[in-house]
């Protein structure tokens, strides 16, 4: 039985999240001795300027870094970035962006602001 207090994540979030379904191309970390393709496809959701939740049908560990590519709604440009696995529950991962270009960050901000106006 837990005696701790429940964390209020709505206050702890640094950026607002947007309910979006995104098809992701995920470049996986290279595993020693692994052969074959090093990418898979996944589904992103709960997108923010700093990260997203993603279903990725691969075994990833907290702390590993993956490459992700996606196109946001109301945009035609592919956003490519690197993201660190911050948490996981089965194949659902919490990703935090760790390497994103200023141009892609600006594009993401603009697309997410457009989404906010649409909802």
Percentage of the chain beyond pLDDT 90 is 44
Tokens 């837990």 belong to residue: 2
Q: What is the DSSP string of 72-86?
A: -TT--SEEEEEEEEE
Let me know: does 10 contact 40? Beta carbons within 8 Å. Answer: no
What confidence tens digit (pLDDT) does each residue in 47-70 have? 888 899 999 999 999 999 999 999
Lowest-confidence range among 64-68, 70-74, 104-108, 112-116? 112-116
Phi and psi at residue 71, to the nearest 5°: -120, 125
Q: Is the pLDDT confidence value at 102 over 90? A: no
Q: Is the pLDDT confidence value at 87 over 90? A: yes
Domains of the chain: 14-118 (2.40.10.220)
Tokens of 80: 């490519």
């Amino acid at each position: 039985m837990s005696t701790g207090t429940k964390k209020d994540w709505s206050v702890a979030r640094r950026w607002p999240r947007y309910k979006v379904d995104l098809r992701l191309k995920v470049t996986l970390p290279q595993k020693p001795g692994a052969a074959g393709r090093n990418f898979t496809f996944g589904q992103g959701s709960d997108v923010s300027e700093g990260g997203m939740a993603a279903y990725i049908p691969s075994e990833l560990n907290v702390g590993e870094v993956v490459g992700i590519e996606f196109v946001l709604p109301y945009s035609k440009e592919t956003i490519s970035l690197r993201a660190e696995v911050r948490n996981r529950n089965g194949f659902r991962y919490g990703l935090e962006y760790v390497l994103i270009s200023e141009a892609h960050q600006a594009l993401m901000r603009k697309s997410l602001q457009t989404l906010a106006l649409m909802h």
